[in-house]
Amino acid sequence: MRKSLRAIALAGMAALTPLAMLAPATQAQDNVELTMWIESTSGSDVAECVQKNGVEAFNAQGNGITVNTTLQANWWDATRTAIAGGAGPDIVGTPGPSFAMQLALAGQLAPLDDYAKALGWDERFAAGSLDLGMAEGKLYSIPTELETLVLYYNKTLFEQHGWEPPKTLDDLMTLAATIQEAGIIPFSHANAEWRPANEWYVGEMLNHSAGGPQKVYDALVGNVEWTDPDFVAAIDLLNQMQQNGWFMGGLDRYYTTTFPEAGAMFGAGEAAMDIEGTWFLADQEAYFGEEAGNSNEIGWTPMPSVSGEAIFDLGVGSTYSINNNSQHKDEAAKFLDFWFSPENQARLLVACGMVPAAVDLTGQDLTGVNPSLAEILAAMNVAFAEGNYGYTTWTFWPPASETYLIEEIERVWAGEITPEEYLAGHQEKFDAERTEGAVPPIPER
């Protein structure tokens, strides 16, 4: 596999003029050093694991390129400032397509179209997934960590009480009320450490409303207003859940409980359910089972929808690009080619629990992957392949509208504004950013 990849890469190099032109500058025996920054504060040991299993594997190839990674505590601020100041690492990571797009529009990222053609990326990535990295018709970033959200539940607790995982939002509401009556907190939701957690629930409710993801798509491309009754109903439902004290037992607890505290209560059965992303499974062992000092098991089901249909919302955890200031763009492209090889993506999934990019992992050795995660990824991939997916707010929304969704929902919960006013305000922000062309590319449905 490795051999053939290199062969492809070399063949591509010969064919590609910019690569061929730069080739003499970097003699084979000269070791080219590339820099790359990784977020060190993403929790657990993911950053170090990625460094060890991904980057070092590349360096071990001995092809005259060494990638030096640095774990940055203030990763995105540092990256953004450095790039705006004309510096920064050769390989640029961002927290999502809308961020990459801003860098691209400012001319700070190198277009990747030629590399994509030469290295066959179009065939490697699932159809349409590279569209997320486009800006003004060119490819600037490659989305990775394709994630989705599901409804996790404490399986052991559910079995003890004879509760069934809900299919529709109605089921969910009824079940949550029952759980609350049993003296258990329905949802272990909290945002003390990460205020944007708010958008997980807002996004889920919008996509799983009566209109489904289709309506969200229509609103994103501007064919439907955000004040549509389906959306109002969705936000209203979310507000009811919060007003009932279902999230962590009340608004004040929701705002002040940390993730470890919430996770511990979920694992111990003091809380029953959790609407959260695939990233949660990387940490679940700390809350369920031996390590956590209980014998409980975690279960998952697709996030319930009004229709009862299983809907998976697509999220992109991060993107990779090449710095336009880099002196070694070709070498950086080689690294990206390695990085997004099915082999490397599979290794990172197995070793670090990092969810892969939209590359085909069939035939890769996936033993050791958390079974729940494997199931979710499989189900998610089917949904994506069929084009039947929903839209997470941090992937498909322009930045200011996303911030609005995150922050102003708290005013709905505080009773300061109604769901209608909330969505009307969002419409205003969204319109403004749409006119500026700040809405990330929305793949056609």
Partner 1 sequence: MQQTLTLPEGTIASRKADKRRAFFRRKVVPWLFVLPILSINILVVAAPAFSSVYFSMTKWSGIGSAEWIGLANYQALLADPGFHHAFMNNVLWLAMFLTVPIGMALIAASLLAPIRRGAIVFRLSLFIPYVLPSVVSAALWRSLFSPDRGIPALLTDMGIPGFDKAFLGDSRTALPAIAFIDNWHWWGFLMVLFLASMQNIPPDLYESARLDGANRWQEFRDVTLPGIRPTIVFMILMTTIWSFLTFDYIWILTQGGPARATEVLAVLVFKEAFRNFNAGYAAAIGLTMSFFVGCVIAGFQVLRRRGWEI
Partner 2 sequence: MSTTTLSRGKRREISLAPNYLVLLLLLGFALGPLMVLVFNSLKTQAEIGSNPLGPPQSFMWENFTKAWEVGNFAVTTRNSGILVAVTVAAVLALGGMAAYSLAKLDLPGAGLVTLYLLIGTSLPLQLFLVPLFFTWQRLGLVNNLLGLAIIYVATNAPFAVFLLRSYMLQLPRDFEDAARVDGAGEWQIFTGIVVPLSWPGFLTVGLVVALSVWNEFLLATVFLTDQELFTVVTSYYNFSSRFSRDWSLTSAAALMMILPVVVIFLALQRRFVEGLTQGGLKG
The residue ranges that bind partner 2 (CB under 8 A) are 37, 40-45, 70-74, 77-78, 81-82, 84-87, 89, 193, 258-260, 263-264, 283, 286, 293
Indicate the residue among 44 and 61 with the shorter CB distance to partner 1: 44
64 binds, among partner 2, partner 1, none (CB under 5 to 8 A by kind): none
The backbone torsions φ and ψ at residue 220, rounded to the nearest 5 degrees and listed phi first, read -65, -35
Residue 74 CB, nearest approach to partner 2 (Å): 3
**DSSP state for residue 120 in the 8-state scheme:** T
Q: Which does 107 bind (CB under 5 to 8 A by kind): partner 2, partner 1, none?
A: partner 1
User: How many whole angstroms separate alpha carbon 153 and alpha carbon 231?
Assistant: 26
Choose the one of partner 1, partner 2, none that binds residue 260, judging by a C-beta under 5 to 8 angstroms depending on kind. Answer: partner 2
Structure tokens at 222: 């501007």
Q: What gap in Å lies between CA 341 and CA 353, rounded to an integer?
A: 16
Single-letter residue type at 268: A
Q: How many CB atoms lie within 10 A of CB 125?
A: 21
Shortest Cβ distance from residue 108 to partner 1 (Å)?
A: 6
**Least distance CB 385 / partner 1 (angstroms):** 33
CB 263, min distance to partner 1, A: 15
Q: Which does 43 bind (CB under 5 to 8 A by kind): partner 1, partner 2, none?
A: partner 2
Residue (165 or 398) nearer to partner 1, CB: 398
Q: Which is nearer to partner 2, 68 or 174 (CB)?
A: 68
- Residue closer to partner 1 by CB (options 30, 252) is 252
Question: Are the C-beta atoms of residues 310 and 302 closer than 8 Å to each other?
Answer: yes
Euclidean distance between CA atoms 26 and 264, whole angstroms? 53
- Can you tell me whether residue 361 is helix, strand or coil? coil
Residue 178's binding partner among partner 1, partner 2, none (Cβ under 5 to 8 angstroms by kind) is none
DSSP 284: G
Do 252 and 410 form a contact (C-beta atoms < 8 A)?
no
Q: Decide: residue 25, CB within 10 A, 0-12 exposed, 13-18 middle, 19+ buried.
A: exposed
Give the residue with the Cβ less far from partner 2, 171 or 283.
Answer: 283
The item of partner 1, partner 2, none sharing an interface with residue 253, based on CB under 5 to 8 Å by kind, is: partner 1
- CB 202, min distance to partner 2, A: 24
Q: Which residues bind partner 1 (CB under 8 A)?
A: 76-77, 80, 83-84, 102-103, 105-108, 191-192, 195, 251-258, 261, 399-400, 403, 407, 410-411, 413-414, 416, 438
Output the smallest distance, CB 282 to partner 2, in A: 12
Query: In angstroms, what is the minimal distance from the CB of 259 to partner 1?
Result: 13
E strands, 293-421, are 298-302, 312-322, 389-391
Shortest approach of partner 2 to residue 82 CB, angstroms? 7
The counts of H helices and E strands in the chain are 21, 12
- What is the C-alpha to C-alpha distance for residues 345 and 336, in angstroms, rounded to an integer? 11
Name which of 57 and 286 has its Cβ closer to partner 2. 286
Q: How large is the greatest C-alpha to C-alpha distance in the chain, in angstroms? A: 73
Query: Which of 128, 152, 144 minimizes the C-alpha distance to 278?
Result: 152
Give me 205's structure tokens. 């409710």
Nearer to partner 2, 69 or 319 (CB): 69
The upper half-sphere exposure of residue 137, i.e. CA atoms within 13 Å in the direction of its Cβ, equals 0
Are the beta carbons of 244 and 5 closer than 8 angstroms? no
With residue 94 as reference, give the H or E element that holds it. strand 91-94
Nearer to partner 2, 115 or 259 (CB): 259
Nearer to partner 1, 253 or 445 (CB): 253
E-strand spans in 41-110?
Answer: 65-72, 91-94
Euclidean distance between CA atoms 435 and 414, whole angstroms? 31
Q: Which does 82 bind (CB under 5 to 8 A by kind): partner 1, partner 2, none?
A: partner 2
Q: Which C-beta is closer to partner 2: that of 171 or that of 285?
A: 285
Shortest distance, CB of residue 36 to partner 2, whole angstroms?
11
Q: How many residues can be counted in the chain?
A: 445
